[in-house]
């Protein structure tokens, strides 16, 4: 779960909207007998295309039979391209595969992105 929190926090720093000085990142971790939920919230750039790309990436990962398959496919895609700055999508695939988490997000009414990773205790996602 430490890797999950780290990846989500890194994405918040890299892709958040930091045009306002007082904006912050929040991290919440909820532990119950059934699940561990890691949620990171940060200001998001007002760009519907960016939010759509995030949704497309999550839906793409869900299209595989297992998170492992999505991770391997994303590794192949990234390794076959020349290096460039930007979103590789490996962090989210890594959370789904290595941490066995389900990913989801929503944009709050105040323009913040809330990204969550849920690990279900006893679930076999592989």
Q: Kindly list the domain boundaries of the chain, sorted by start residue.
A: 2-120
Mean pLDDT, rounded, of the chain: 90
40-52 confidence digits (pLDDT tens): 999 998 889 999 9
DSSP strand pairing (35-43 vs 26-31): antiparallel
Q: Which of 50, 55, 40, 8 is nearest to 113 (CA)?
A: 40
Reported confidence tier of residue 123, pLDDT bands at 50, 70, 90: low
Architecture per CATH, domain 2-120, reads as 2-Layer Sandwich (3.30)
pLDDT the model gives residue 126: 46
Mean pLDDT on 86-100? 85
pLDDT the model gives residue 85: 62
Which residues, 6 or more positions from 6, have their beta carbon under 8 angstroms from its beta carbon? none
pLDDT the model gives residue 78: 85
Q: For the whole model, what pTM was predicted?
A: 0.86
Tell me the three state secondary structure of residue 72: helix
pLDDT the model gives residue 20: 86
CB 67 within 8 A of CB 126: yes
DSSP secondary structure code for residue 22 in this structure: T
Q: Which helix (H) or strand (E) holds 38?
A: strand 35-43
């Amino acid at each position: 779960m430490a890797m999950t929190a780290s990846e989500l926090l890194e994405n918040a720093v890299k892709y958040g909207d930091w045009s306002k000085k007082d904006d912050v990142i929040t991290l919440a971790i909820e532990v119950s007998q059934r699940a561990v939920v890691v949620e990171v919230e940060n200001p998001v750039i007002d760009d519907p295309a960016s939010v759509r790309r995030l949704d497309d990436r999550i839906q793409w990962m869900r299209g595989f039979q297992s998170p492992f398959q999505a991770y391997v496919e994303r590794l192949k895609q990234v390794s076959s391209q020349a290096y460039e700055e930007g979103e590789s999508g490996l962090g989210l695939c890594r959370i789904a595969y290595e941490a066995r988490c389900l990913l989801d997000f929503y944009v709050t009414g105040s323009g913040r992105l809330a990204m969550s990773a849920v690990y279900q205790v006893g679930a076999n996602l592989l």
